[in-house]
Every structure is written in structure tokens, then in C-alpha cells.
């Protein structure tokens, strides 16, 4: 029987991943580790802790006989620029603690990298799996370092760690995080609360994106794949859709014609967006472990609106 620890359990990914893992493994076998923001409605096994504290992580792993860690805790791109020291501390020292414990307790690990591992010198369209990684944000630097650490622990110590380069993720269960792609989540709150939204990127800022259900399905599929199928131990390119703010606004306007969107690009966020690819080539993930997305822009827009409407009622 597998016992799963999810760090960063109440963020954008964790809020959907924890219920999916509870369904798959049974609620009593999934331990959600939160630091500050624990929603009142959470049902399941809750553990309190900080990923930077190795001793407390070790206690949790021993106490609950943990076999797998989905290590999601981390700062995003915009949050990272606000506090680079904290971003390095949480994103790198937290990951290193998890990998050390994975080696000692033979744990399987999932860790998310991001399109932020790429930078201005990376090919922008259909970015290949193996390419230039010269990010210009601290978040990106932690993602490249993290990818190399994951590969190192696999090669040197045989730790079964797997990773995906998440694009911008869109979901409604958790409030949007401090990321550059998160305008695509905020916009739905703006739509339903005020019928208007001011986008913090330029209208033509095309970025790779994915609806959260695809991300969760892909994450679980990667972790279910036999080890011999995993040929990438840094992090897999992982893609679904890509769109510009303007394209998302037109999709929303098909359903809400009076919706008003304006564009007021924030220089820091726009610069980050311009340093990232517009689309990503994920053929290696498709070939190795059968990745295939299901959500196109129109389906994602519909599901987001319906889901958020219920949540805001
Ligand atoms: C961000 O915008 O920082 C994240 C990401 C692409 O990793 N959503």
C-alpha cells in the first residue's frame, strides 16, 4: 500500500491533485502538508510543516510510512522576484530536503518544473525537449537547478524522481497564485464579479497554458508509468494549448458579449512573459508515457466559468 505526502497541498495544483490522489489511493493514505493557508472545508489527513525543515519532514515520513512525495511547495515567478532569497530557500533547499529523504527512505518523488526553466535565448516556438536553459528570473534559476538536482539524485542514488515542465495552469478550486500566467485565472474572477478585467500583460503575449484537469491527469499518468519508460530525469516538456490574452478574451466574449477587458501591462510581468516560449514540443512525453491533453481553449473556458460560478455562489 502506498502512502502519499503532498507538500504545497493547498496551492493551485495541490487543491486538485489531493482529491485525485485521495480517490486513487484512499483518503486515509494521502497526507496534505500545508504551511499557512489551510481551507476550512478541507477533508482528509492534514499535516503541518515547512519543507525547509528537514527534521520535521523526516518525522512525518517515518510516522506515516510515506512511500511517495508530490513535492509542490514553492514560490512562482512573480512571487520569486518579490523575494528572491525566499524563492531560493523554499524552492531549492525544500527540494533538496525531499530528495535527501527520498534517497534514505526509498521514496518516489514528483516535482514540478515549469516553462520558466526556459529563457530569452530558448527557441520560442515548439520549444524542443533538449534546448538552451538560460532563464532570467530567480524562479527559472530554481527550476533549472531543481531539474539538475533531480537528475543527479536519480543517476547517483537511484531516486525515482519524475518531473514535468508545467505551462501556465488554469483552475478554479484554489485562488490564483503569484505567477505571470495567472492573469488567465484572475480574468474569470473579474468576469463573474465585475464583468470587467484589466490584463497585466500585453494583448498579444502568447504563452503555453493547460487546464488543471489535464495537468492532474498527466501528473498521475507520469507517476504510474513503468520506470523503464522514463527517459527524461530532468523534466519533461508538457503541453496542451497556447493562447494570447486577446484570444482568451474573445473566447469569453462568445459567452458574455458585454465583458470588458483592458490591457495595462506590468513591466516586470510582461518582461517575464516575453522571456518564455509561446509553445512547447512535448513529443517525448507523448512517446515515453502516452501523454495526450483533452482540453482546448473553448472547453477550458466553459468549465472554468461553470466551476467558478458554483464556487462563488
Ligand atoms: C508562473 O507564471 O510563474 C507559473 C509558471 C508558468 O510556472 N504559472
Residues 6 or more apart whose CB falls under 8 angstroms from that of 231 comprise 284, 288
Assess whether the C-beta atom of 184 lies below 6 angstroms from ligand 1.
Answer: no
Read off the pLDDT band of 83 (50, 70, 90). very high
Q: Phi/psi of residue 250, each to 5°?
A: -65, -35
Is 35's pLDDT higher than 90? Answer: no
Question: How far is 248 from 183, CA to CA, in rounded Å?
Answer: 10
Residue 23's pLDDT is 98
Residue 34's pLDDT is 86
Q: CATH second-level architecture of 4-169+210-237?
A: 3-Layer(aba) Sandwich (3.40)
* For range 232-239, the mean pLDDT: 98
Pick the CATH number of 170-208+240-279+294-312 from 3.40.50.300, 3.90.25.10, 3.40.50.740, 1.10.490.10: 3.90.25.10
Is 31's pLDDT higher than 80? Answer: yes
Residue 133's pLDDT is 98
Per the annotation, the verdict on 139 as an active-site residue is yes
- CA nearest to 219, candidates 150, 276, 279, 162: 162
Closest atom, ligand 1, to C-alpha of 77: 3
Convert the chain into a string of H (helix), E (strand) and C (coil).
CCCEEEECCCCCCHHHHHHHHHHHHCHHHEEEEECCCCCCCCCCEEEECCCCCHHHHHHHHHHCCCCEEEECCCCCHHHHHHCHHHHHHHHHHHHHHHHHHHHHHCCEEEEEEEHHHCCCCCCCCCECCCCCCCCCCHHHHHHHHHHHHHHHHHHHHCCCEEEEEECEEECCCCCCCCCCCCHHHHHHHHHHHHCEEEECCCCCCCEEEEEHHHHHHHHHHHHHCCHHHCCCCCCEECCCEEECHHHHHHHHHHHCCCCEEEECCCHHHHHHHHHCCCCECCHHHHHHHCCCCCCCHHHHHHHHHHHHHHHHC
| The C-alpha cell that represents 215 in the structure block | 495537468
Domain ranges of the chain: 4-169+210-237, 170-208+240-279+294-312
Is 308's pLDDT higher than 90? Answer: yes
Residue 200's pLDDT is 98
Residue 38's pLDDT is 81
CA max distance for the chain: 58
Percent of the chain whose predicted confidence (pLDDT) is above 70: 100
Residue 39's pLDDT is 84
Question: How far is 313 from 306, CA to CA, in rounded Å?
Answer: 11
Residue 177's pLDDT is 86
- Could you tell me if 137 and 272 are in contact, meaning their C-beta atoms sit under 8 angstroms apart? yes
* For range 198-211, the mean pLDDT: 98
pLDDT tens-digit map of 105-145: 999 999 999 999 999 999 999 999 999 999 999 999 999 99
Read off the pLDDT band of 211 (50, 70, 90). very high
Is 171's pLDDT higher than 90? Answer: yes
Residue 40's pLDDT is 82
- CA nearest to 252, candidates 167, 175, 170: 170
Residue 260's pLDDT is 98
| The C-alpha cell that represents 261 in the structure block | 477587458
Determine which one of 70, 139, 172, 183 is catalytic: 139
Read off the pLDDT band of 295 (50, 70, 90). very high
CA of 307 to the centre of ligand 1 (A): 22
Residue 41's pLDDT is 85
What is the reported pTM? 0.97
Assess whether the C-beta atom of 91 lies below 6 angstroms from ligand 1.
Answer: no
From the CB of residue 245, how many other CB atoms can be counted at a distance below 10 Å? 24
Assess whether the C-beta atom of 116 lies below 6 angstroms from ligand 1.
Answer: yes
Percent of the chain whose predicted confidence (pLDDT) is above 90: 96
Residue nearest atom 4 of ligand 1, based on CA coordinates: 179
- Mean pLDDT, the chain, integer: 97
Amino acid at each position: 500500500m502506498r502512502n502519499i505526502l503532498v507538500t504545497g497541498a493547498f496551492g493551485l495544483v495541490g487543491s486538485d491533485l489531493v482529491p485525485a490522489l485521495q480517490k486513487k489511493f484512499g483518503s486515509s493514505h494521502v497526507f496534505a502538508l500545508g504551511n499557512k493557508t489551510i481551507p476550512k472545508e478541507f477533508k482528509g489527513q492534514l499535516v503541518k510543516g515547512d519543507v525547509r525543515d528537514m527534521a520535521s519532514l523526516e518525522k512525518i515520513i517515518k510516522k506515516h510510512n510515506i512511500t511517495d512525495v508530490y513535492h509542490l511547495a514553492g514560490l512562482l515567478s512573480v512571487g520569486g522576484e518579490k523575494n528572491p532569497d525566499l524563492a531560493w530557500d523554499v524552492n531549492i533547499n525544500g527540494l533538496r530536503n525531499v530528495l535527501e529523504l527520498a534517497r534514505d527512505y526509498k521514496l518516489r518523488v514528483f516535482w514540478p518544473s515549469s516553462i520558466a526553466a526556459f529563457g530569452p535565448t530558448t527557441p520560442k516556438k515548439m520549444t524542443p525537449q533538449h534546448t538552451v536553459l538560460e532563464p532570467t528570473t530567480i524562479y527559472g534559476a530554481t527550476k533549472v537547478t531543481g531539474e539538475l538536482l533531480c537528475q543527479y539524485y536519480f543517476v547517483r542514488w537511484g531516486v525515482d524522481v519524475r518531473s514535468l515542465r508545467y505551462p501556465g495552469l488554469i483552475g478554479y478550486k484554489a485562488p490564483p497564485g503569484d505567477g505571470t500566467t495567472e492573469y488567465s485565472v484572475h480574468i474569470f474572477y473579474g468576469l463573474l464579479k465585475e464583468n470587467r478585467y484589466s490584463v497585466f500583460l500585453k494583448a498579444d503575449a502568447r504563452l503555453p497554458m493547460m487546464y488543471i484537469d489535464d495537468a492532474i491527469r498527466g501528473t498521475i499518468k507520469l507517476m504510474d508509468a513503468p520506470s523503464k519508460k522514463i527517459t527524461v530525469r530532468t523534466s519533461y516538456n508538457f503541453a496542451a494549448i497556447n493562447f494570447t490574452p486577446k484570444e482568451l478574451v474573445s473566447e469569453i466574449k462568445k459567452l458574455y458579449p458585454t465583458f470588458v477587458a483592458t490591457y495595462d501591462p506590468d513591466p516586470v510581468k510582461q518582461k517575464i512573459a516575453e522571456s518564455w516560449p509561446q509553445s512547447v514540443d512535448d513529443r517525448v512525453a507523448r512517446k515515453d508515457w502516452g501523454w495526450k491533453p483533452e482540453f482546448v481553449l473553448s472547453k477550458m473556458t466553459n468549465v472554468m466559468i461553470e466551476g467558478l460560478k458554483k464556487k462563488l455562489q
